[in-house]
Amino acid sequence: MPFFPSLPDDAGIGHLFKIKPGHREGFGKFSDAVMRDDSVFSIAERELIAAFTSALNSCDYCYGGHSAIARQHGVEEGVFESLVDDINMAPVDDKLKPILRFVRKLTLEPYKNNQAAVNAVLSSGCSEKALADVIYLCSLSAMLNRLVFGFG
Number of Cα atoms under 13 Å in the Cβ half of residue 106? 28
- Cβ pair 30, 140 in contact under 8 A: yes
**Element containing residue 142 per DSSP (H, E):** helix 128-151
Predicted confidence band of residue 85 (pLDDT cuts 50, 70, 90):
very high
User: What secondary structure letter does DSSP report for 18?
Assistant: T
80: three-class secondary structure by DSSP: helix
Contact predicate 64/51, CB 8 Å: no
pLDDT tens digits along 124-138: 999 999 999 999 999
Chain segment 86-104, per-residue pLDDT in tens: 999 999 999 999 999 999 9
pTM: 0.92
